[in-house]
Amino acid sequence: MGMTVKDLSTDKLLVSPSILAADFARLGAEIERVCEAGCDLIHVDVMDGHFVPNISIGPPVVKSIRKSTDLVFDVHLMISDPMTYAEPFVKAGADHITFHLECTDTPEAVIAHIRTLGASVGICLKPGTPAETAFLYLDKVDLILVMTVEPGFGGQSFMADMMPKVRALKDEIKRRKLNVHLEVDGGLDASTVGAAARAGANMIVAGTSVFCNPEGAVRAVAVLHEAEKELY
């Protein structure tokens, strides 16, 4: 196990490009391209066709791309059974695992299990799940992920009405003086990153706006990083 999310500063704005938007025919080169462009970690979206209406990748793909970079693999499990699948992903090279609060009745058990694997751990909230649902677990995790689209497909439009939820979580994190990353995922680009930073998000997942940016990945990552000055 290399670095985890715990080793990254919560005071910086961190860019985590989602490989869901990469060209899968040349995935290793695509990852190297965004790493050279200055991203801070790599976001890996895992979908099971059950918890969300799409299927993406499994542990073999994570294992094969692990040699492309030493950056933290920020693995987002949009799956019904994170307890079963966390270990295969960590063994394949995941440094961090985020799972959905909505998919389990025993979040604390899943958090504890992921910790035993040596990875850092995050919890994710779908758009319809209130911020308060996560308050109980804030001191037990390293990251909270707020979905700013309905999970399942890349390339969707940013939901600005999720920003009060981000702010509520950030206020609670600050009130308790916790060292927890606040991540947003969905529709993040040059036009929406400022709103996310002002609400308190310090980790930005961006797929299409980085991998498919006509101005190139270097410019795309730099524009996102520029929002650090707006960080709440």
C-alpha closest to that of 121 among 104, 99, 147: 99
pLDDT of 143 reads: 98
Predicted confidence (pLDDT) per residue in 147-166, tens digit: 999 998 888 999 999 999 99
Position 155 scores a pLDDT of 87
Contact call for residues 210 and 229 (beta carbons, < 8 A): no
Q: What is the pLDDT of residue 154?
A: 86
In 3-state terms, what secondary structure has residue 72? strand
Q: How far apart are CA 219 and CA 193, in angstroms?
A: 14
Which of 45, 74, 95, 142 is catalytic? The answer is 45
The runs of H, that is alpha helices, within 47-176 are 59-65, 82-92, 107-116, 132-135, 163-175
pLDDT in tens, 108-145: 999 999 999 999 999 999 999 999 999 999 999 999 99
Q: Are strands 96-100 and 143-147 parallel, antiparallel or unpaired?
A: unpaired
Given a cut of 80, is residue 95 above it in pLDDT? yes
Domains belonging to the chain, first-starting first, are 5-230 (3.20.20.70)
189 belongs to the catalytic site? no
Q: Which of 155, 140, 117 is CA-nearest to residue 22? A: 155
Quick check: 230 pLDDT over 70? yes
A 10 A CB-CB count for 181 gives 26
185 is an active site residue: yes
Question: Of residues 40, 74, 142, 185, which has the active-site annotation?
Answer: 185
Q: Is the pLDDT of residue 1 over 80?
A: no
Q: What is the pTM of this model?
A: 0.97
